[in-house]
Structure 1
Amino acid sequence: MKRIFYSIGFVFAIFFLSCGFFLSYQLSSLRDRMNRLEQESALMGKQVSANPFSRDSDYVFESFNSETGKLVKERYRVSSYADDQVVLRQELGDVTASDKETRYCVRMENGSLVVYLEDGKEVFEYTDIPLEALPSEEQAEVLGGKEIVGTDELYSFLENYSS
């Protein structure tokens, strides 16, 4: 009789230990999966919010001028952006024909691309684009001073190689 009780007790002990190990394994697996999902979710959130700006979008800031009693609207366009900086350029009017005919010169300076106006002396925009990000043909052109005509062409070129 004692043997039966010991045998039954032994079987129950093995059963409960097995259930405990199985449940701890399942719990650990569930925690690992939750951690992975949280990390992926955070990464997806960073990827989604990393590039919310578009070169073609206008941003309008409205403010009320209490002296004149009028609503003042200022229009801005995204000039360039990186992870730690967004550069806005104020737009005073519509795009004119002169913007489409403006000539720019892209050169390398301190390891990254710099855009100059056609005279080559006045800096139009600094970029964080390294020379190595360009194909070899483009690298050769930039080292010699790549000329680009028009603001749209310039921004198209810069967007192709920015990260």
Structure 2
Amino acid sequence: MKFVKRISLFFIIPMGMYTFGFYSHMKLQEEFYPGKYREESVKQKSALVQEQPQVIPTSFEEEQVINADTQYVIEEVDLKKETSVETKWKVPEKYIGMNRDRFVREMELYQQSPSLADQELGFVSVEVVSFSRDKVRIRKSYIFRELSTSFYLVNEKNFVVVYCDDLKTIYMGTNISIDTLPDGLKQEVIQRKYIASEEELYNFLESYSS
């Protein structure tokens, strides 16, 4: 038994000294080179991260602009009757190449100064309902003037002009000089002669137009 104990001690004591020496060496390394093993660990982790493919998200989207193939839709709304009519047109060349912001500004300018035809129809406003490369939709609102059934003959610059019964809207101009009319009719036109129907109007035009 004593022999066995001696053999055990012979192996245990050197192993203990070796373990103690290794532990002491590691502590000294950490004391003289602080962070060395942490840096190596970080480098290993960094290398693993770099090996993974990087995915860079992109938020770029091609700008939507009007082109020759863009569908141009106009919705005309009658505010008085609360009805609407939709029509499809070829996009006007002057709008080609415009993005949404520029097109909206163009419509705002149009609202400030609409065409004469729209003014005569009773134009109120215009707005951009939707905008994309494929389709542009605008809404034009009107208070449509009802067709006149009676008229006034008015002297303007020595010629007869036909007004609607509101005496504001010109129904048509004529080439009838006031001086070519009989004296009685001439005085009536000067004082704004009332015409009760379209038939009476066209009888007058046929009689005095050259």
Shorter-chain TM-score tier:
0.3 to 0.5
Q: Larger C-alpha radius of gyration, 1 or 2?
A: 2
More strand by share: 1
Q: TM-score, normalized by length of structure 2?
A: 0.30
